[in-house]
């Protein structure tokens, strides 16, 4: 019950994360092309992307460590991940890629804050958020093919 609730929220926030990620890219490309100022809207969308990923991290760990393990066995019992491709995927690939995506997004926000001038801010935004979004899309894509 709590498991499926947390899982549904994880899926809903996935959509918000993807929309915010795509928006940061579109806004960065637009900003670079039009040579406009890096504004409040750019800051807010990148913040949404970053905060949504933190939420996903919290929910993901909640699902994995607490709820999933109470449903499928004791928490201290480490699953035999080498023999189960699907479990291995969730245990290692998805979580590792998403944490790296979150790290890149956080790093990007720090770089944008420190960069002087809108062009540099948009370039940093494009690089860090773009790489982060690629990782997210790759991980979600892998989820679909591993089923």
Residues that bind ligand HEM (CB under 6 A): 7, 10-11, 14, 17-18, 53, 56-57, 60-61, 63-64, 68, 90, 94-95, 98-99, 102, 136, 140, 143
Q: What sign has the CA pseudo-torsion 56, 62, 65, 68? A: negative
Three-state DSSP class for residue 92: helix
* Shortest spacing between CB 118 and ligand HEM, in angstroms: 28
- The residue at minimum Cβ distance from ligand HEM is 60
* Shortest spacing between CB 63 and ligand HEM, in angstroms: 5
Q: Which is nearer to ligand HEM, 31 or 132 (CB)?
A: 132
Q: Which is nearer to ligand HEM, 86 or 119 (CB)?
A: 86
Nearest alpha carbon to residue 55 among 97, 98, 89 = 98
* Shortest spacing between CB 41 and ligand HEM, in angstroms: 21
Measured between alpha carbons, how far is 39 from 127 in angstroms, rounded to an integer?
A: 18
Q: Distance of alpha carbon 74 from its chain centroid, rounded?
A: 28
Q: Which is nearer to ligand HEM, 38 or 56 (CB)?
A: 56
Contact call for residues 63 and 2 (beta carbons, < 8 A):
no
């Amino acid at each position: 019950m709590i498991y499926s609730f947390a899982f549904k929220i994880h899926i809903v926030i996935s959509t918000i994360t993807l929309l915010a990620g795509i928006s940061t890219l579109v806004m960065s490309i637009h900003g670079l092309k039009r040579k406009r100022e890096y504004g409040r809207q750019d800051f807010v969308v990148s913040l949404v992307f970053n905060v949504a990923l933190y939420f996903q991290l919290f929910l993901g760990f909640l699902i994995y460590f607490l709820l999933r393990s109470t449903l499928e066995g004791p928490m201290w019992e480490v699953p035999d991940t080498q023999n189960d491709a699907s479990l291995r995927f969730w245990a290692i690939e998805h979580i590792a890629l998403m944490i790296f995506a979150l790290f890149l997004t956080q790093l990007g926000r720090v770089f944008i804050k420190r960069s002087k001038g809108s062009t540099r801010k948009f370039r940093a935004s494009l690089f860090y958020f773009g790489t982060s979004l690629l990782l997210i899309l790759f991980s979600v894509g892998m989820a679909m093919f591993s089923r």
